[in-house]
Structure 1
Amino acid sequence: MSEPIPVLVAGDHFVLNRLLVEALHDAGGPAAWRVRELELPWPHVPFGPVAEVREASGSEEQLIEALAGVRVCLTQMAPLTRRVLEACPDLELFAVCRGGPVNANLAAAAEHGVTVTFAPGRNAASTAEHTVALMLAAMRRIPPAHESMLAGRWEGGGYAYEAAGLELAGSTVGLVGAGAVGGRVAAVLVALGARVLVADPYADPAALPAGVRLVGLPELLASSTVVSLHARLTPETAGLIGAAELAAMPRGSVLVNCARGGLLDYAALAAALREGHLFAAGLDVYDAEPLPPDHPLHGAPGLVMTPHLAGASRAVAERAARMVAAEALRWLNGEPPLHAAALPRSSDPGRAGADR
């Protein structure tokens, strides 16, 4: 039998090393791998830029030391920079268990013959559930009721008509984007009795849940009690929802964003809430994270906010570990990756698998 493959699992406090090792052993068997571990500090220490890559955890020095002699690395946050690549010539596969490998220099990886994979859709179910949870919490004004109970008050004022919440059943909900998350949200909303509209120029109508109608953005904004954002952030969609779009929504409507902060003008949103044009908003992503003390959202009424936690479920961590372990097994068997962000420029077969 061939020698075990040296592999580094560089997990953190979300995608645990234990999960990565278990998934790796389930995929290829313990005898296939010689595992080395590096634990990164995220999320207890925020991620940030490391050299030329963004949203990484740990240092180049840590990774260079841990990767000595390693051919495969499974990670979520470790920084794959040009300096790391130059110092680690044995590395062949860098499997990132995130929806996008923003912690990897993809061009440099291709130049150095390293395959970089990623894990699209790992948190789609979690984000869809969080979206609906924020939607309901904002519409039914659950957070202020909870706070009043914690303060020892029993307030029945929520039964006053002007203060009463909104129902999803019978409401029209507009989804801006119908990808992996938006499609799941649409299915849940239909089951809850909502009428669902989707604005997405790239959506396949046949792939939408039954009863969901594809419309243009102006019609969606004008017709929806709730608007939820699910688009990718691209030059085309940056600033998609600004003051004019918020003004086009019916008075007393609700906006939800669990997608990307760059889709939305938050100053305009705060103004719409303060003016009473919008009933509420549910937010998980922002234009600045964490929110600075002078951010316009502070003090705006009707807000339900979470700190970019839509993808934070145990199932996401476990699923992500299985996805990168599956890529490692494909590499071990000499098979092409399922989700490649970077491929070696060289066609040298010696860097295409484990030679087993």
Structure 2
Amino acid sequence: MPEPIRVLVAGDDFVLNRLMTDALHADSGPAPWDVRELHLPWPHVPFGRVGEVDEASGSEEQLIEALRGARVCLTQMAPLTRRVLTACPQLELFAVSRGGPVNADLDAATRHGVAVTFAPGRNAESTAEHTLGLMLAAMRRIPQAHAGMLAGRWDSGLFAYEATGLEIAGSTVGLVGAGAIGGRVAAALVALGAEVLVTDPYVERSALPAGVRAVSLDELLARATVVSLHARLTDETAGLIGADQIRAMRPGSVLINCARGGLLDYTALAAALRAGHLFAAGLDVYDVEPLPAGHPLRDAPHVVLTPHLAGASRAVAERAARMVAAEAGRWLRGEPLLHRANPVAAHP
């Protein structure tokens, strides 16, 4: 019987070690694997830059020691750097359980013959649901009503016409981006009775949910009661919604962003909320994270804020664990990897 293959499971307090280990054994059985574990401190300790990679948790020294003898690593946040790769020549597969392997140096991994995989779409359902939650909370001003109740008030004045909220049914909702997340949001909004417009130059119109219409960004901003951002952050989309675009939105409309902070000018957004041009905003991502004390959103009216957790659900963690375990199983069986992030290269 061949010796088990050593695999390092480097989880954290979101994608747990036990989730990845259980998924690994469910996919391939326990016999092929000699599982070692490393616990990383995220999210209780913020991620950061480690070596030349971003959004990583733990240190190069920790990972080098834990990877001793391992040919496979399953992780969410461990840093795969030039130093780690040089110190761990036996490593062959580094499977990252997140939507993009930003914590891996892909060029260096390719030079060392290490395959890097990731878990695209792991949080599409969760982010779509969080978007809808923020949308409803902002449109119906649920957090303000909740805060009043906690303060001992019974704000019957919220029944006054000018203070009441907006409904999704019968509204026009514009989605900037119609990929995995935007498409799910669109389908849910149609079911709730909204007219849904999308702008996305990379999505085929035939792929849009029934009842959804593609338009230009200018038309979307001019017509929508609610604008929700779902675009990727690229050089092309950075600053996509600035002061001019916010001014072009309908008076009394709502802006939602659960995508990327770099898409939106938050100073202009805060000014539009204070001026009453926008009815409300719901935000999960920001230009600076964590949100600093002096940020203009801190005292802007009618804004609902969450700390970049749209993709946080137990189902996401479980799905991510299954996705990296499945890649390890494919590697074990000599099958093509499904979500490889770097080119094929022979291991030296």
In the superposition, the TM-score normalised over structure 1's length comes to 0.97
Q: Distance in 2 between matches of 1:236 and 1:122?
A: 25
Question: Is residue 104 from structure 1 mapped to residue 104 from structure 2 by the alignment?
Answer: yes
Matching residue of 2:277:
277
1:152-163 to 2 correspondences below 5 Å: 152-163=152-163
Q: Distance in 2 between matches of 1:215 and 1:343?
A: 36
Matching residue of 2:143:
143
How many corresponding residue pairs? 348
Secondary structure at the counterpart of residue 296 of structure 2 = coil
1:1-356 to 2 correspondences below 5 Å: 1-346=1-346
Q: Distance in 2 between matches of 1:297 and 1:144?
A: 15
Residue 345 of structure 1, CA deviation: 2.6
Deviations 1:43-100 (A, max 9, x none): 0000000010000000000000000010000000000000000000000000000000
Q: Distance in 2 between matches of 1:339 and 1:296?
A: 40
Identity of aligned residues (%): 77
Query: Which amino acid in structure 2 is aligned with residue 27 of structure 1?
Result: D
Matching residue of 1:354:
none
Residue 342 of structure 1, CA deviation: 1.5
Secondary structure at the counterpart of residue 341 of structure 2 = strand
Secondary structure at the counterpart of residue 185 of structure 1 = helix
Q: Is the 8 Å Cα contact of residues 111 and 344 (structure 1) preserved in structure 2?
A: no
Query: Which amino acid in structure 2 is aligned with residue 74 of structure 1?
Result: L
Query: Which amino acid in structure 2 is aligned with residue 319 of structure 1?
Result: R
Residue 188 of structure 1, CA deviation: 0.4
Q: Distance in 2 between matches of 1:77 and 1:309?
A: 16
Q: Is the 8 Å Cα contact of residues 257 and 282 (structure 1) preserved in structure 2?
A: yes
Residue 153 of structure 1, CA deviation: 1.2
Deviations 1:267-308 (A, max 9, x none): 000000000000000000000000111111110001000000
Secondary structure at the counterpart of residue 30 of structure 1 = coil
RMSD of aligned residue pairs (Cα, Å): 0.8
Q: Distance in 2 between matches of 1:329 and 1:226?
A: 44
Secondary structure at the counterpart of residue 269 of structure 1 = helix
Query: Which amino acid in structure 2 is aligned with residue 176 of structure 1?
Result: V
Residue 344 of structure 1, CA deviation: 4.1
Secondary structure at the counterpart of residue 49 of structure 2 = strand
Structure 2: state its 5+ residue gaps.
Answer: none
Residue 155 of structure 1, CA deviation: 0.9
Secondary structure at the counterpart of residue 232 of structure 2 = coil
Q: Which stretch shifts more, 84-93 or 146-155?
A: 146-155
In the superposition, the TM-score normalised over structure 2's length comes to 0.99
Deviations 1:321-344 (A, max 9, x none): 000000000000011110011134
Q: Distance in 2 between matches of 1:343 and 1:241?
A: 34
Secondary structure at the counterpart of residue 153 of structure 2 = coil
Secondary structure at the counterpart of residue 279 of structure 1 = strand
Residue 142 of structure 1, CA deviation: 0.1
Q: Is the 8 Å Cα contact of residues 56 and 79 (structure 1) preserved in structure 2?
A: yes
Q: Distance in 1 between matches of 2:33 and 2:326?
A: 13
Q: Distance in 1 between matches of 2:184 and 2:128?
A: 6
Q: Distance in 1 between matches of 2:213 and 2:153?
A: 44
Q: Is the 8 Å Cα contact of residues 113 and 345 (structure 1) preserved in structure 2?
A: yes
